[in-house]
A = this chain, B = another copy of it.
Amino acid sequence: MITFINPSTEKPYIRFQSLYQDALANDQRGIEAISVSSYDLKTNEVEARYVNLKYITDNEWIFFSNYNSPKAQQFSAHKQVSALIFWPSINTQIRIKALISKTSIEFSDMHFKSRSKEKNALAISSNQSQNIDSFDEVEMNFHQTLKSMTTDTVRPDFWGGFSLIPYYFEFWQGHKNRLNKRHTFEQKGGEWEERFLQP
C-alpha cells in the first residue's frame, strides 16, 4: 500500500491516484512495487530493481534504502532515473521519468520510527548488496542486531528515504488487438504538456 499525504492535485497525479484505486479494488498484488532504473556512470550500465513506494506527498514519490548501496551511488552520480509500474489487474502500465534526491532527515526519522523492530534490525544489520558467504550469515547478523536493539535505537545515518520528482508520465492502457492507449504528460515551463502516442 502507498500512503498519500496531501498529494499534488495536478492532472497526472490525479490520474495516478484514480488508477491506483482501480487496481486496489481489483486486488492487485504487490501494488506498491515499482521498478526504478538508474545509470551507472562508472560502468556505463543501466540497472533496474524493484522498490516499495511508501509515500506520495505533494509531488514527491518516496521509498527507503541503504545510502551506501550500489543504487544510492548511482543516484548520486546521475540523478535522472526512470520508474515503471505495471498492474496486470487493470492492464495498465505507468512510465515515469524523474529526478532523484535524498529526503529530509526528519522524514527518514519519522518513517524509521513507524517501522517494526524486525525491519529496522535488518536495515541496521545488512551491508546491502555486499557479498556474503551464506544466507546463514545474514540470519546470524540479523538476530544479533535484533537482540541488541533497545527502545532508544535510532535510525543509522546510512539508511533513509529517496524522493523521486517526476517530470514525465506515460499512462498506457492495454486494449484489444494491441490498439493500446498511450497518454503522456511532460513538464514544460511549469505546465504539463499532454499528448497521445501511437501504440
Contacts and interface: CB of A to CB of B under 8 A. Distances in A.
Interface of A: 29-30, 33, 35, 37-39, 44-50, 78, 80-84, 86, 88-89, 93, 95, 97, 116, 118-119, 121-123, 126-135, 138-139, 142, 177-179, 181-182, 195-199
A131 to B, nearest CB: 5
A177 B118 contact: yes
Nearest to A36: B48
B177 A48 contact: no
A155 to B, nearest CB: 15
A174 to B, nearest CB: 10
**This chain's copy number in the assembly:** 2
Contacts of A122: 177-179, 199
27 contacts: A35-B35, A35-B37, A37-B37, A39-B44, A45-B80, A45-B97, A46-B46, A46-B80, A46-B81, A47-B95, A48-B95, A49-B84, A50-B84, A50-B93, A118-B178, A122-B178, A123-B178, A126-B199, A129-B198, A130-B198, A131-B196, A131-B197, A132-B196, A138-B179, A138-B198, A138-B199, A142-B177
Contact of A39 (B29, B39, B49): B39
B126 A198 contact: yes
- Closest 10 pairs between A and B when the two form their complex, measured CB to CB: A37-B37, A30-B88, A29-B88, A118-B177, A48-B82, A48-B84, A122-B178, A37-B48, A46-B82, A126-B198
Question: Which of A30, A133, A142 counts the most B-chain CB atoms under 10 A from its CB?
Answer: A30
Contacts of A97: 45-47
A160 to B, nearest CB: 16
A166 to B, nearest CB: 13
